[in-house]
Amino acid sequence: MRLHTNYRFTYTAIAFCAIAMFLFAGVAVAKEFWESKTFDKWTQKECQKMLTDSPWVKELNLTGMNYEGADSASATDSQAPYIKYTVQIRSAAPVRQAVVRQARIAKKYDSLSADQKQAFDKDMDAFLTGASPEYVMVYVSIDTNNQDHKRDLIRHWETRTTDLLKNGIYLSTPKGKKVQLAQFIPGSGGSLEFQFIFPRVVDGEEILKPSDKSLQLEFEYPILGCIRGTDRGCLGDGRAFIDFKTDKMKIDNAVIY
């Protein structure tokens, strides 16, 4: 009887382990939504995740420090003043697809007439396929709860030019050289958004090698009212280093950027 009980326990343990391994394997091979379905099936929540919390998007959060001169009086809420830079690799197809899908949802695309859909698709298709294979496009948007900082940020970034920025903004890889900014495209109409454009190929070679584990954006940002990141002091420019992990940016084993 004791032997029979041991066998029964052994078989139960084996069955439990087999089930656990099956479930673990299922979790291990689970694909992200951008791999498992076409973008025209993405939900609003999935689009938002792609544009704010995906491998192609990073944030730089700067918070107000309690230094003399820090002013929270013109904040739009009770929080300490902050500035948030959201950085997207917008030349990556999944990011562009999320922008288009989000616009379709907002427009209630499925309820449009055939003519309306055609007109809408004409504009969206141009954006969807408009990324040049020769360049890496980095889109940056800024959010702040301080009206004075918003005004200063708009003035700062709208008056920047490629010549002013090209010696301080780079893309780089762990083993590669720094890739200099090719073009800066400022926002317009008081918008807190702009684009950095970089060459994808330098000296006949693609900047990102198969063995590279990350792609880093380095750029300067203005320090306003003692709002800063890791920099010390309250004057001049801060410096940001934004890392994108390439192993997370793969689709069908190819890094998409």
Is the confidence at residue 72, as pLDDT, over 50? Answer: no
d(C-alpha 206, C-alpha 226), whole Å = 39
**Tell me: the pLDDT tens digits for 128-175?**
887 788 999 999 999 999 999 999 999 999 999 999 999 999 999 888
- Of 132, 255, 115, give the one whose Cα is nearest residue 201: 132
**Whole-number mean pLDDT of the chain?**
83
Quick one: pLDDT at residue 177? 81
pLDDT tens per residue across span 115-127: 999 999 888 888 8
pTM of the model: 0.81
Three-state SS string over 185-215 comes to EECCCCCCEEEEEEECEECCEECCCCCCCEE
Q: What is the per-residue pLDDT across 233-245, written as a single tens digit (0 to 9) for each? A: 455 678 999 999 9
Give me the mean pLDDT over the 171-187 stretch: 91
Q: Which of 6-10, 89-93, 144-148, 203-207 has the lowest mean pLDDT?
A: 6-10
